[in-house]
Amino acid sequence: MYDQNAAVLIGTIAAEPRYKKTENTNKSKIDFVLKVHRQMSPSSYDRINVTAWEDVADQVHDSYSEGDRIAVKGKINVSSYKTGEQYHFFTRVIAEEISIPREEKGDGFGYVKVPEDKSRSSTHEKMGIHTEHSFPVMRSGSSSQCRRTCTDSASVCT
């Protein structure tokens, strides 16, 4: 028998991420909220708390901001604390990989056609990054980046 804890999300960063270095160990940490549209009602969405550490936190801090569409792979984490007689629970995704998502529907369940918001240009567009091209992916616990292959034959990709 096996258990699995895996989360894969594609959504929009809802507010400017909160970046900091921990006091005792000086590790990078970033917290942000990912807006993910619901499958049964694309006009409504869930706001999912995401935390990333070290290299992945630095990648988010350096490359992404409010309004950017990103893909997050990670694990669901539930923590709790008690005040008086009442318990409080906090659920979040601990990000292990962050990337720019491909905008075509993949195989599997959970894909939702998102209403377009043309009122804002993302950081990706400002930087000249196109979602159909290759992109760097930072993995948690690794200082190296890997590259995904382009689908556009006119592009130079590794």
**CATH number of the domain residue 81 falls in:** 2.40.50.140
pLDDT in tens, 52-107: 999 999 999 999 999 999 999 999 999 999 999 999 999 999 999 999 987 665 55
User: Does some domain include residue 30?
Assistant: yes
Count of domains for the chain = 1
- Residue at 53 is within a domain: yes
Identify the domain containing residue 46 by its residue range: 7-147
In a domain, residue 1? The reply is: no
CA 53 to chain centre: 12
Q: pTM of the prediction?
A: 0.69
**What gap in Å lies between CA 148 and CA 71, rounded to an integer?**
14
